[in-house]
Amino acid sequence: AQSVTQPDIHITVSEGASLELRCNYSYGATPYLFWYVQSPGQGLQLLLKYFSGDTLVQGIKGFEAEFKRSQSSFNLRKPSVHWSDAAEYFCAVGASQAGTALIFGKGTTLSVSS
Amino acid sequence: ETGVTQSPTHLIKTRGQQVTLRCSSQSGHNTVSWYQQALGQGPQFIFQYYREEENGRGNFPPRFSGLQFPNYSSELNVNALELDDSALYLCASSLGAARGTGELFFGEGSRLTVL
């Protein structure tokens, strides 16, 4: 069955420090992978996506993610975190039930300390 | 700003009642999907509509139903509300229905509380 696991429920990072959020997926075929961010009271915003090709994907707001098929992982990284990055981050994989349907992980809450 | 608008933003219902949530897609998008996000959880796919037909469904019972209109706006209806239906309901639109056609644009959601 398709699934997404985000092992870290809550992470605190100092402003200016680097960030890595972990994501592991289970999917039988070539996965379509996504990272979304959700700020309080807001909808989900797409940070980046991987469909095929280069396994290092660049996104908005300085984020990047690396697809590693051998590890079934799609970790999100940012070299220097800003206070405005504090939010909930969701990893998702394209589901098979419908074309654009996604299966989301439970999310990782990022707090940024000064 | 994504262009996907949802109404109402908040509502309270009692167990057994029925609720209708509404969504206006981003201009030019012909596909709408609905998700349920319980507190502390990731969004769960309910169903997708393409050209006014349901063309995919997640693991939700039949009392969750929907409609898509010719202008691509959509409704989510939930009958016989249960306490566990309390959640944020998110609508998302996209340019196409096929896998890998691109980005989902989400609205800010409708928060439903069932008492």
Measured between CB atoms, which of B45, B94, B100 is closest to A97? B45
Please count the other Cβ atoms lying within 10 Å of the Cβ belonging to residue A55: 12
Residues B3-42 as b or e (16 or more Cβ within 10 Å = b): ebbbeeeeeebeeeeebebbbbbbeebbbbbbbbbeeeeb
- CA-nearest of A46, A109, A74, A98 to B59 is A98
Task: Assign B35 a pLDDT band (cuts: 50, 70, 90).
Answer: very high
| Residue B109 touches partner A, C-beta closer than 8 Å | yes
CA A18 to chain B, closest CA, distance in angstroms equals 24
Residues whose CB is less than 8 angstroms from the CB of residue A24 and which lie 6 or more positions away in sequence, other chains included: A4, A5, A6, A7, A71, A72, A73, A74
Q: Mutation test of the interface with chain A: which of B54, B99, B111, choosing the one with the most A Cβ atoms within 10 A?
A: B99
Chain A residues within 8 A of B95 when measuring between CB atoms: none
Chain A residues within 8 A of B96 when measuring between CB atoms: 99-100
The string of pLDDT tens digits covering residues A1-35 is: 789 999 999 999 999 999 999 999 998 777 889 99
The string of pLDDT tens digits covering residues A58-111 is: 999 999 999 999 999 999 999 999 999 999 999 999 876 567 789 999 999 999
